[in-house]
Structure 1
Amino acid sequence: MSETSKPGNFITQIIDKDNETGKHGGKVLTRFPPEPNGYLHIGHAKSICLNFGLAQRYQGQCNLRFDDTNPEKESVEYIESIKRDVEWLGFEWKDEPKFASDYFGQLYDFAVQLIKAGKAYVCELNAEQMREYRGTLKEPGKNSPFRDRSVEENLAIFEDMKKGKYADGEVVLRAKIDMASPNINLRDPIIYRVRHVHHHQTGDQWCVYPMYDFTHCLSDAIEGVTHSVCTLEFQDHRPLYDWVLATLGTVHPQQIEFARLNLNYTVTSKRKLKQLVDEQHVNGWDDPRMPTISGLRRRGYTALSIRNFCERIGVTKSDSVVDVGMLEHAIREDLDANANRAMAVLNPIKVVLTNYPEGKEEIFTVSNHPKNEAAGQRQVPFSKELYIDAADFAEVPPRKWKRLTLEGAVRLRGGYVITCDEAIKNDAGDVIELHCRYDENTLGVNPEGYKPKGVIHWVSAKHAVDASVNLYDRLFDNEAPDANYEDKTFLDFINPESLTVLTSAKVEPSLLEAEKGQGFQFEREGYFCRDLKEEGLVFNRTVTLRDSWAKIEAKGK
């Protein structure tokens, strides 16, 4: 579905009305402005799809612009990861990515313009005093004792700030608005602070850096953005956005807020995600349990599944929590339609076909995808000794058991019907080997009298390939790990079973040709992909075949 044919939302309604009235001459220019202080997560994916999608819908343009005004927390690593993620999701930006730091000179001049207009002043209150003077939601703030400095004095001190004559935190530049405003964001907000720190783009050229609220609106104006789309937490900042642009008399983009993506069983605060990484609760930003775009990609999520998910949850003005099961449904739907099938035995137990000729081997031709002939076929070897999954055998089967048991028959996927005669045990009483008979007349058919209860997957022991399999599950076992608890933090809800590593899995030989990142349905096990980074044959579980968590939650209610 093209962007123009997709259903609209309240933002497209605003743009449609603007185009009807000729407000921007029919131009639509949006931007995606991430801070390069961490990897992007699934919430950013919604913003990416929205901003770039709007540009595509109206044959406009979306800028990728890094909000790099806090170099202490930023890095080139984060910048490169963000570019990779946006491109992987299927979006392009025009020319080179833009940086707020590209406009530092212009922003400084705008600050000087505010000082000259009597709309900004240098303040020497420390952080604690600043909080005291700011007031509360119920009480107005108090004017700073430095608020009435002369224009000349403010200009001189601001110039000295630029020259590095002040220490970090010693002085700040504040906008002069209204300390009694009911909107605390308008109570003389800080617009510049001193930071003696190396910047990844500008080096040591600057030791004063603009604040986000000052930078963002002016960057939009400089670039000619028509519709500045952001999340609801910036709604209370919009009056400051408008005040800066109106006071300076610049181009005035329209800020429009939408509800951010909130997922249950998930944390998307970059600060908390960084804590997970720094404290080694996970193995990096791209750990497949992380809700980062790179983590989802490594786990086996496709760009299409994420775009489809973002489309389905829609764009609204009201905050809500989306069930993470919707995201998992999106990838199941995609992989069910597009992922080739393969056989992998995750917890192998050996099966010896006692009546199968010694040394004999066969090749079965099986379909790569039962619903897609274009996916072609592959060849699967068969021999006297096989591996099946230990979970597919039970000496004492439960009710409605449809797998292998003593004296019971099952069909091997794409192969023969076999019957189990004997279970060999070790000294501890564990079943380590099964002796079975095969019926050579059952290849592809069900002769009269044979009614196998089920179909199980297998691999030929002689031809099996060793593989490691990472069984990933949700990182948190609490529906709201990020809520405010009196005696717990989100770390207390880390799921101890979020990763199980299987090192003795056996897979069919065709998987030796699997490309890194390629997704498969391991028959009867789930959807898996070959890991993007690990050497050797390592597969990550993307998602189970069915939503097992829904059953767990239903039992708990």
Structure 2
Amino acid sequence: METKTSSSNFIRNIVMEDIETGKHKKIITRFPPEPNGYLHIGHAKSIIINFQLADEFSGTTNLRFDDTNPAKEDKEYVKSIEEDVKWLGFQWDNLFFASNYFDEMYKRAVLLIKKSKAYVCDLTADEMKEYRGTLREPGKVSPYVNRTIEENLDLFDRMRKGEFPDGAKVLRARIDMTSPNINMRDPVIYRISHAIHHNTGDKWCIYPMYDYAHPIEDAIEGVTHSICTLEFEDHRPLYDWVVNNCEMESIPRQIEFARLNITNTVMSKRNLKQLVDEQVVDSWDDPRMPTIAGLRRRGYTPESIRNFCREIGVAKANSKVDGQLLEHFIREDLSPKTPRTMAVLRPLKVVITNYPESQVEMLQIENNQDDPSMGTRQVSFSREIYIEREDFMENPIKKYFRLFVGNEVRLKGAYFIKCNEMVKDAEGNVSELHCTYDVETKSGSGFTGRKVKGTIHWVDAINALPAEFRLYEPLILDDEQEDGKTFLDQINPNSIEILQGFIEPNMKDSKPNDKFQFFRHGYFNVDNKYTTAEKLVFNRIVSLKSSFKIQK
């Protein structure tokens, strides 16, 4: 994949200094997702940082699954993560699983016990929380902290053999219950879980905790720079403690950066899973979801996401990015690539009364008025067409330049038509317009006569293809959760609108993930889930314009 030169940031500066001083000859980074859900746009930022750093400095990047919690993990998530990384344009040098290191992690835990740095504790979860203390008050030592090394070794071995039920015992690191950093107050490093693991099956019934496993994984793989988000900054002392006390040969350096937060966007994997489990959305790849799979299905391109992540940069302080910035980059990427065409989302029939009933003519219309190299297409035109319902008003407002009785507009790429009469149904709704056309005003014919202020799009009613259009709004209404309300109370009830309309017949061979710019409606992608041989379904990727102004 062709990548742009990385802009300077504090992580890159650290890496450069480590190379210049000879601390590291080769840079090794890793992207270490937990396979307990689909990746979202925030993970894309981490992927790009890790892979591009390694690429820039001729290093390597590992894809490693931190699969230490079998109760929440699934092979489906493993597969989806691999697909997402590849789709973003990256290829890992090595593929690892934390579960491949379980034997080594167990040995290191035994080492900690022998060094009196770990002990088996029988406190319940609630008791442990009570003993832990608060940010203002120190914790209390466990009544089991003084078990002998021999007793701890025996109990830990019996834990491994499955003699105790879930929750009966844990292995804790012995550090400092009075530490101002709560993460250092004798954290749990192993728990009992009689669960089948997707990779190791039923070999284990005890599993390492993330804060214990993660630094060991990095050290085993020789990772030089362990890049993670700011919420792990307070965990760094524990990370270093594990590496040092487990006597790992390689010593990685943990570096934290600000995670990506976007307005009106769900950025919690737990909340995303809740949306799927409670069927608020139809799946992890629902186009309303900020998952990489959801953005891909909606029609976002990897180029637009990479460019977005480059623009927001790498910072040390948390902040929130306007969601319109991401939209800006998809527009910028699609504009020169996508053919223009016409689609009517809310159809209103127009009968051109003075057009010959049996006649169908082919009109030549450009595929992209800004790029002649994209050529032209043939569009059929006949006596009956569909226009957008919003392009007609029975009682026009001031400066309304589209159709109303007595007014004339240009049909995009075709003729001037004048509305002479409207027809209403039994409920009083306008169901049909009767218009006349001026044969002398054909587009491209050199007509230089009178002018009209309005141009509207249309499709030929005789040959138009039925299509479904899905329009999206942000999935959540407010970024801040109000007191007394749950996450689901923030959900936008109008996050999706499904419309039945028509498209030009020349689009009949469109395939899933084909992209188009529909005149005046925005950029659309052929949905890869609901499209059938009988009907095309389009997801609106983004509207044509935004109020967002990017700072140069």
Query: What TM-score bracket applies, with the shorter chain setting the length?
Result: over 0.9
Alignment correspondent of 1:555: none
Q: By how many angstroms is 1:344 displaced?
A: 0.4
1:28-77 Cα offsets, whole Å, 9 max, x none, are 11111111111111111111111111111112111110110000011111
Q: What is the root-mean-square deviation in Å for CA atoms of aligned residues?
A: 1.5
Partner of 2:518: 522
More displaced, 255-264 or 437-446? 437-446
* 1:180-221 residue CA offsets vs partner (Å, 9 max, x unmatched): 111111111111111100000000000110000111000000
3-state DSSP class of the match of 2:508? helix
2:132 aligns with 134
Deviation at 1:98, TM superposition (A): 1.0
Paired amino acid for 1:510: N
Residues 4 and 57 of structure 1 are in contact (CA less than 8 Å); yes or no, is this contact kept in structure 2? Answer: no
Cα distance in 2, alignment partners of residues 210 and 448 from structure 1: 78
Residue 3 of structure 1 deviates from its aligned partner by 4.2
| Other-structure match for 1:460 | 460
User: Which residues of structure 2 form unaligned runs of 5+?
Assistant: none
Given that residues 6 and 52 in structure 2 are in contact (C-alpha distance below 8 angstroms), is that contact kept between their aligned partners in structure 1? no
Cα distance, 1:356 vs structure 2: 1.2
Partner of 2:491: 494
Alpha-carbon spacing, 1:521–1:172, altered in 2? closer, same or farther (3 Å): same
The equivalent residue for 2:106 is: 108
Cα separation, 2, equivalents of 1:403 and 1:61? 59
- 1:314 corresponds in structure 2 to 313
Q: Distance in 2 between matches of 1:477 and 1:137?
A: 33
For 2:19, the aligned partner's letter is N
CA distance in 1: counterparts of 2:339 and 2:175, whole angstroms: 62
Aligned length in residues: 544
Answering whether residue 11 of structure 2 is matched by residue 14 of structure 1, we say no
TM-score (norm 2): 0.96
In the alignment, is the contact (CA less than 8 A) between 2:66 and 2:97 conserved in 1?
Answer: yes
3-state SS of the aligned residue for 2:359? coil
Displacement after TM superposition at 1:354 (Å):
1.3
Report 1:136-535 matches (<5 A): 136-250=134-248, 251-444=250-443, 447-478=447-478, 480=479, 483-503=480-500, 505-534=501-530, 535=532
Distance, in Å, in 2 between the alignment partners of 1:233 and 1:203 is 31
Q: Which residue of 2 aligns with 1:32?
A: 31
**1:495–1:501 Cα change, 3 Å:** same
Cα displacement string for residues 401-454 of structure 1 (whole angstroms, at most 9, x for unaligned residues) = 121121211111111111111111223222111111111111125745521111
How far apart, CA to CA, are the structure 2 residues paired with 1:453 and 1:6? 47
Moved more, 484-493 or 101-110: 484-493
Is this contact kept in 1: 2:481–2:490, CA < 8 A?
Answer: no
Structure 1: unaligned runs, 5 residues or longer? 552-557
Amino acid in structure 1 at the alignment position of 2:137: E
Shift of 1:2: 5.4
Partner amino acid for 1:455?
T
SS in 2 for 1:136: coil
Report the TM-score, using the length of structure 1 for normalisation.
0.95
1:337 counterpart SS class = coil
- Distance in 1, matches of 2:157 and 2:4, equals 50
Amino acid of the structure 1 residue aligned with 2:385: L
Paired with 2:462 and 2:378, the residues of 1 have a C-alpha distance of 15
| Structure 1 stretches of at least 4 aligned residues deviating more than 3 Å after TM superposition | 1-4, 445-449
Residue 554 of structure 1 corresponds to none
Q: Would you say the 8 A contact 1:4–1:58 is kept in 2? A: no
Instruction: State the Cα distance separating 1:4 from its structure 2 match.
Output: 6.0
Distance in 2 (CA, whole Å) between partners of 1:142 and 1:181 is 11
| Residue pair 1:517, 1:530 contacting (<8 A) in 2 also | yes
Over residues 125-146 of structure 1, what are the superposed CA-to-partner deviations in whole Å (9 max), with x where a residue is unaligned? 1112111211111111121111
Check conservation: 1:259, 1:319, Cα contact below 8 A. yes
In the alignment, the residues of structure 1 paired with residue 393 and residue 334 of structure 2 have an alpha-carbon distance, to the nearest angstrom, of 31
